[in-house]
Amino acid sequence: MELHLPACWPQFHCIASACTHNCCIGWEIDIDEKTAQRYRQLDGPLGEKLRQKIDWEAPDGPFFQLEGERCPFLTGENLCEIQQALGHEGLCEICSQHPRFQNTFGKLKEMGLGLCCEEAARLIFTGPRPSVLMTQTVDEPEEELENALLLEPLLQLRETMFRLLEQTDRPFSQRLTKLLSLAGEAQDWLSALPDELMDKPVLPDFSPAAETAPAPILPVLDSVVETFSQMEPVDDEWEQSLARVEDWLSALTEEECQAAGKGFSRDSFGQEVYLRLAEYLLYRYLLQSLEDRDLLTRVQMVVISCVMVRMMELAEQRENFTLDDCIRLTGLWSRQLEYSLENLALLADACFLEPQLQYEPLLTLAASFSF
């Protein structure tokens, strides 16, 4: 099996107590069955504490019972008592893997680091771009893939999208518009293919547009915010950030909305953050369209996510926005959206059901909103 890893992968390590948003605080931590069996049988004071602090009867499987939002095994120094006693191999699957993710597509496995983690985000935003991948061969069996003949064309398409986003001589809004336009053309091609493929389809040459006809964007932004407001909030910090966005947006006219952010003072990384956010999302989610051939929705979600994070930034109304600020806000967005299947499904459904979040309005938004 072929394995793809982001080029920043080898540099990642948990910064433990130095982390300002500890993943052992405020998260429900499920325990896989193999680790649960070990915890049940562990001797000594730690084994006794494990058996006391785990909810063994939960219908979805055992999990650590939080104490004041903290994992009961998080010490006063914000270190893991289990890891201190048993080493890394003593952790449950979630704790040992977080914030890593993996997707498997037949003969290909892709792994990466999630933006919910501030150290991972720092590497994603300052190291090699998410489009820069390492390739390895691993001794693992291939998995069955229904649309296996589409894998290579979609990999080629994703690479084309990466190169398009990296045309840094163009404003990011133009690149985002071309990305969505390309996704629209690719979706038409994908939808026209027969259900049963006999041969590998050839990816056509697409001609994505960089501009669209002017149209109001305030209703589209309202729909973006309204969709996120319908989600189950992950924590108080997210609710406060969302409230700032709602207040900021409600005070804008259409003209002010289109001008928002132009000339806004930020550190030199500027639009590079949004380029990397878009590439991260394409790497993590685009190939999932092999399951349902719904490529366009995944790219709509890329556009919506970039716009939402940008609004979170603008709503704070700071004179200078630093890299640490972007790491904080993208982490908030990631924890709210990426680590809730319900919230991801709600956003995907909105791309179908909410008129202002469909292809044409989003194309206008991408072209007109300032990054």
- Model pLDDT for residues 103-123, shown as the tens digit of each residue: 999 999 999 999 999 999 999
CB atoms under 10 Å from CB of 191, counted, come to 11
Structure tokens belonging to residue 242: 């969302």
Tell me: cis bond preceding 99? Omega within 30 of 0 counts: yes
Percentage of residues in the chain with pLDDT exceeding 70? 98
Rounded to whole angstroms, the Cα distance separating 325 from 310 reads 12
pLDDT band at 82 (very low <50, low <70, confident <90, very high): very high
pLDDT band at 265 (very low <50, low <70, confident <90, very high): very low
What is the arrangement of strands in the sheet containing 100-105, beginning at the earlier edge strand? Answer: 100-105, 108-113, 2-6, 133-137
Structure tokens belonging to residue 83: 């890891």
Task: State residue 317's pLDDT score.
Answer: 80
Q: Positive or negative, the Cα torsion across 8, 276, 306, 323?
A: positive
Domain regions of the chain by residue span = 24-97, 148-368
pLDDT band at 266 (very low <50, low <70, confident <90, very high): low
Q: For the chain, give me the number of helices (H) and strands (E)? A: 16, 6
pTM of the model: 0.93
Instruction: List, for residues 153-167, the tens digit of each pLDDT value.
Output: 999 999 999 999 999
Instruction: List, for residues 8-32, the tens digit of each pLDDT value.
Output: 999 998 888 788 888 888 878 899 9
Percentage of residues in the chain with pLDDT exceeding 90? 73
Mean pLDDT in the chain? 92
Task: State residue 342's pLDDT score.
Answer: 96
Compute the average pLDDT of residues 283-300.
Answer: 97
Task: State residue 262's pLDDT score.
Answer: 62
